[in-house]
């Protein structure tokens, strides 16, 4: 992925409304990565610096370039209200009127909801993993029991009998 990313950085170097960059989350960029929830590497984030989103697309140059061409441009927001449709403009105005304290509280509430959804998901996956492992062990034990009961020998005897019958004909 690194060569593809480097090519994309070169293509967007000096771009007026988009920044494509590397951040070393193990060194000087550690705080920035923490703010944006980067936990694994490599992670690609995109969007407004105030509301970064996870990139879920392909990691090859063609996929990255296509995504960048379609998405790395000014987008609707308080700084580009002229790019918003009427519904988004109304929502932005409503949110702006709520003030910092109320908006901070709403963001904290929604962030907690996201964290709860993630932890619920992780707990369910752990439960499924444990169930899968138990089912796999039970299957393996049953397969061993069946094989140990003489299945292989039965197959060998059947093959021998079949050869004997074929020889008699």
The answer to whether 76 touches 84, Cβ cutoff 8 Å, is yes
Enter the CATH code of domain 1-73. Answer: 3.40.30.10
Contacts of 33 (CB under 8 A, 6+ apart): 23, 25, 43
pLDDT digits (tens, 9 = 90+) for 113-136: 999 999 999 999 999 999 999 999
Q: Crossing angle of helices 61-71/2-12, nearest 10°?
A: 30
pLDDT digits (tens, 9 = 90+) for 79-118: 889 999 999 999 999 999 999 999 999 999 999 999 999 9
pTM of this prediction exceeds 0.85: no
Residue spans per domain, the chain:
1-73, 75-169
Comparing C-alpha atoms, which of 9, 2, 1 is closest to residue 68?
Answer: 9
């Amino acid at each position: 992925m690194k060569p593809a990313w480097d090519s994309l950085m070169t293509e967007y170097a000096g771009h007026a409304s988009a920044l494509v960059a590397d951040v070393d989350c193990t060194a000087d960029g550690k705080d920035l990565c923490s703010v944006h929830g980067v936990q694994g590497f490599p992670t690609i984030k995109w969007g407004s610096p105030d509301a970064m989103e996870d990139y879920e697309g392909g990691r090859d140059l063609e996929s990255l370039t296509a995504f960048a061409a379609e998405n790395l441009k000014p987008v609707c927001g308080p700084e580009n209200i002229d790019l918003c449709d009427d519904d988004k403009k109304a929502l932005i105005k409503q949110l702006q009127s709520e003030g910092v304290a109320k908006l901070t509280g709403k963001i904290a509430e929604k962030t907690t909801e996201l964290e709860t959804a993630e932890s619920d998901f992780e707990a369910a996956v752990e439960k499924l993993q444990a169930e899968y492992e138990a089912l796999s062990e039970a299957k393996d034990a049953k397969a061993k029991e069946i094989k140990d009961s003489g299945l292989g020998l039965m197959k060998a005897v059947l093959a021998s009998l079949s050869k004997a019958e074929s020889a008699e004909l």
